[in-house]
């Protein structure tokens, strides 16, 4: 989610200033395209991804996020393309971000590839003050913001093989602010620095261990670290857990329905005082991939 200055006091108090800039995902390892444009086309097939996240269920005005993306390699080239849409609603605010990604991949050797990517995006921000109950009626600092558009661009690098991936990215280089008529900041966008990594260990003929980590640094906010540990059974069933530093613990599950269809679910339980006011967060996603005789992966990819 993005920082909005006029979010209701409970969000600011309970989160102690830890509001994130970009939308937050527990299953980041399957949704890399939203944070790193170099991921586009890296799976070797056309990949279509959809996700819905309902955060802090039972808390009025809590975040709701929907994400959709499509990325694909371009035949007979080292290029990859991607498009994505993220819709984020928090209380009286809504954010819609549309992005386009372009990547270029350099084979390092028989196992590793290094990809570079650039991202162009547009953010549409809305604030509905009718949903607010200010202490002062007709507060001059409160005014509606309708379809405020902010262009941006970002870049990333992504090293990957069939077993390992490492990525470093900055999705938004431009730091933008929107002010009302009294020069009070209503919307502020800050740079987000991401590091993502993971590895697939074979611990038996039918079991794989998949640890992953996501580190995010936002200007003016503490470092955020997400760590997960998943087990994959028979290349079909995924079960695991995750921990978001000083924020939440999570349970994750997924199932490879067909060669091209994977479905996943996660549940987050807060570890902060906010757990007293909600019943957790839910996240579900679908990933559908289009294969043909040429593009079908010889060795499966597990991230």
User: What distance lies between CA 12 and its chain's CA centroid?
Assistant: 21
Percent of the chain surpassing pLDDT 90:
61
CB 191 within 8 A of CB 202: no
Integer Cα distance of 78 and 262 in angstroms: 26
Burial class, 176, CB count within 10 angstroms (exposed 0-12 / middle 13-18 / buried 19+)? middle
User: What distance lies between CA 197 and its chain's CA centroid?
Assistant: 14
Integer Cα distance of 3 and 276 in angstroms: 23
How high is the pLDDT of residue 76? 83
How high is the pLDDT of residue 14? 38
pLDDT digits 0-9 by tens, 126-182: 887 776 666 555 655 565 667 788 899 999 999 999 999 999 999 999 876 655 555
Integer Cα distance of 128 and 68 in angstroms: 25
Integer Cα distance of 228 and 55 in angstroms: 19
Ordered structural domains, the chain, with CATH? 23-290 (2.40.160.40)
How high is the pLDDT of residue 2? 40
Cβ neighbors of 231 (< 8 A, separation 6 or more) are: 207, 208, 209, 210, 238, 239, 240
Average pLDDT over residues 178-203: 76
Average pLDDT over residues 82-98: 92
Average pLDDT over residues 82-103: 93
| Sign of the dihedral defined by the CA atoms of residues 195, 210, 269, 61, in that order | positive
Is pLDDT at 244 greater than 70 in this prediction? yes
pTM: 0.85
């Amino acid at each position: 989610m993005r920082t909005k200055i006029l979010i209701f006091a409970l969000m600011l108090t309970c989160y102690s200033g830890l509001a994130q800039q970009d939308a937050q995902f527990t299953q980041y390892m399957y949704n890399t395209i939203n944070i790193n444009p170099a991921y586009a086309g890296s799976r070797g097939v056309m990949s279509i991804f959809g996700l819905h996240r309902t955060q802090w269920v039972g808390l009025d005005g809590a975040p709701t996020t929907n994400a959709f993306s499509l990325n694909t390699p371009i035949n007979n080239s080292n290029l990859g393309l991607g498009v994505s849409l993220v819709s984020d609603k928090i209380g009286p605010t809504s954010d819609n971000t549309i992005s386009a990604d372009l990547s270029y991949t350099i084979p390092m050797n028989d196992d590793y590839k290094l990809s570079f990517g650039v991202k162009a995006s547009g953010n549409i921000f809305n604030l509905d003050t009718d949903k607010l109950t200010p202490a002062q009626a007709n507060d001059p600092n409160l005014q509606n913001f309708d379809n405020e558009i902010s262009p941006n661009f970002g870049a990333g690098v992504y090293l990957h093989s069939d077993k390992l991936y490492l990525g470093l990215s900055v999705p938004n280089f431009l730091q933008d602010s929107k002010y009302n008529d009294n020069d009070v900041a209503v919307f502020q966008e800050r740079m987000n620095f991401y590091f993502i990594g993971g590895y697939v260990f074979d611990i038996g003929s039918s079991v794989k261990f998949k640890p992953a980590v996501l580190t995010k640094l936002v200007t003016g906010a503490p470092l955020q670290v997400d760590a997960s540990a998943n087990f994959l059974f028979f290349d079909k069933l995924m079960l695991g857990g995750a921990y978001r530093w000083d924020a939440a613990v999570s349970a994750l599950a997924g199932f490879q329905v067909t060669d091209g269809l994977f479905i996943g679910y996660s549940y987050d339980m807060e570890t902060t005082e906010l757990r007293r006011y909600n019943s957790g967060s839910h996240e579900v996603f679908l990933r559908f991939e289009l294969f043909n005789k040429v593009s079908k992966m010889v060795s499966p990819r597990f991230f």
